[in-house]
Chain A
Amino acid sequence: MSLLKPFSKLPGLNTANILLVESEEQFQQSLADVLVEETSVTVNVRLAKSLPLPMENDESRPRIDLVVFIINLTSELSFQSAEASLKYLDPGYFLGKVCFMVTNARSASAPAERLDAVRKLAASLHCPLLFAENQTPDGVASATERLLTILKVAAGLVPIATALYMSNLTRCTLPLDIDQPSFD
Chain B
Amino acid sequence: MGSMDNTVKRLLERLVRRIPSRMLKTTLDKWSRLTATQRQSIDYTESKWALTEKLLAICEENELTVKHIAELEMIYVIENPNLGMWHAFQLMDPQDDAHSVELTQFKEQFKSHLSELIRHVSIKIKKHTDEAVWIRIAWGDTFSRPNHLKPTYVVHYLQTPYVFLSSLTSKQKPLLSQALVLSTRYQAIKDANLSGRKLTAIRDLLMKQYLQVFPTKFPSPLAERNRVVSNLHIEKEQAGSAANRHQMACEAFGDGLLPQLQSAVYKLETKFRDHTNKTMTERDEPFRCVVKFASTNLLESLRHSASSGVASTPVTPLLSSVPLKGKNYFVITDNGPGPSSQMKPSQK
Contact = CB atoms under 8 A, between A and B. Distances in A.
Interface of A: 19, 23-25, 32-33, 36, 42-49, 53-54, 56-57, 61, 77
| Interface of chain B: mostly helix, strand, loop or mixed | loop
B309 A49 contact: yes
Given A46-B237, A47-B237, A57-B237, A36 B242 contact: no
Contacts of B308: 24-25
Interface of B: 230-231, 233-238, 240-242, 308-310
A104 to B, nearest CB: 17
Contacts of A54: 237-238, 240-241
B238 A53 contact: yes
A48 B233 contact: no
A39 to B, nearest CB: 12
Contacts of B233: 36, 42-45
A30 to B, nearest CB: 11
A32 B229 CA distance: 13
A34 to B, nearest CB: 11
A45 B309 contact: no
B237 A36 contact: no
A61 B241 CA distance: 17
Given A24-B308, A25-B308, A77-B310, A48 B237 contact: yes
Contacts of A33: 230-231, 234
Closest 5 CB pairs of A and B: A48-B237, A36-B233, A32-B234, A45-B234, A47-B236
Contact of B238 (A36, A43, A48, A77): A48
Task: Identify which of B237, B238, B242, B308 gathers the most chain A CB atoms within 10 Å of its CB.
Answer: B237
12 contacts: A19-B237, A23-B309, A25-B242, A33-B230, A43-B233, A44-B233, A45-B234, A47-B235, A53-B238, A54-B240, A61-B237, A77-B310
A62 to B, nearest CB: 9
Contacts of B235: 44-47
Contacts of B236: 46-48
B240 A36 contact: no
